[in-house]
Amino acid sequence: MRINDIEGLLISAYMDWSSFIGNYRVARRDSIITWTDRVPRMLDHPVMASDVVSLANDGQYTFQVHDGSLIQMYYSFDRRGFQLQAARLAFYSAVVDNKLINAYKRSISVDTISDYEQEFNDEIALDEPDEVEKETQFGGLKNGPVSWLRIEYAPQAAMGVLHHDCHIHFSTFPNSRFVVAGVPNPRQFIEFIMAFCYPELYRTHRLNNEGQYINLEKINSVNSTCFPLIEDAVFNQIAHFRIPTANG
């Protein structure tokens, strides 16, 4: 897959999901596909709703989901635009996750728990879940930790099974790197986000009452233009995520 293919797939993904995503900010800089005015930034853990608001205000995203959540996609190719050299694909929810709040409270030390409790309790009315859900939408009054995931492809930094060249991070396991077999193209990544972060929305858009795809040609087209899968011994050694290829 070449850099020109990535541009076409981004447009295709945007058109496919235009009812749910907007604010197209795709930009091409020589041999890099990124977003307009990209400024590299690693967010501290835990990622807070206020961090996502800050990213949105600074235009640090490729697409914005209808609820204010952000999708970032970065692909870096060689000078000819033929060979992928690095990629970083991320999703940041804009909605406070109350389950994460309790998980963080359990994981931090006794010395700091009072500080965290004060911060969270000042910001989030835990005893009023309906109000929390209502007010933690993008731009709302409440703040707290949010869910996120990030897929990275960095072959030059690979260090075996615990740091495979392509891996995924989850907000619930921020220090872990789960092996991913293959780099998602833009349509595959958005398909993944919509299916597993917005299952009811995905069901309405893609599936029938039995949970099967309404249009197999549509889902096959998502996987029709893919990065070639480079086999690795680690795929036979540990459980991992696998990105579909054009051949299945």
Which amino acid appears at position 165 of this protein? D
- Residue 77 phi/psi, 5-degree rounding, is -110, 170
Bridge partners for 79 per DSSP: none
Q: Which residues of 7-34 are buried (b: 16+ CB within 10 A; e: fewer)?
A: bebbebbbebbeebbeeebbeeeebbbb
Question: Within 10 Å of residue 56's Cβ, how many Cβ atoms?
Answer: 19
Domain limits of the chain?
Answer: 3-242
How confident is the model over 50-103, as pLDDT tens digits? 999 999 999 999 999 999 999 999 999 999 999 999 999 999 999 987 666 655
> pLDDT tier at 142 (50, 70, 90 boundaries)?
confident
pLDDT at 44: 87
> pLDDT tier at 108 (50, 70, 90 boundaries)?
low
pTM of the model: 0.83
The percentage of residues in the chain with a pLDDT greater than 90, rounded to a whole number, is 71
> pLDDT tier at 246 (50, 70, 90 boundaries)?
confident
The answer on pLDDT for 7 being more than 50 is yes
How confident is the model over 211-231, as pLDDT tens digits? 999 999 999 999 999 999 989
Q: Which residue has the higher pLDDT, 94 or 135?
A: 94
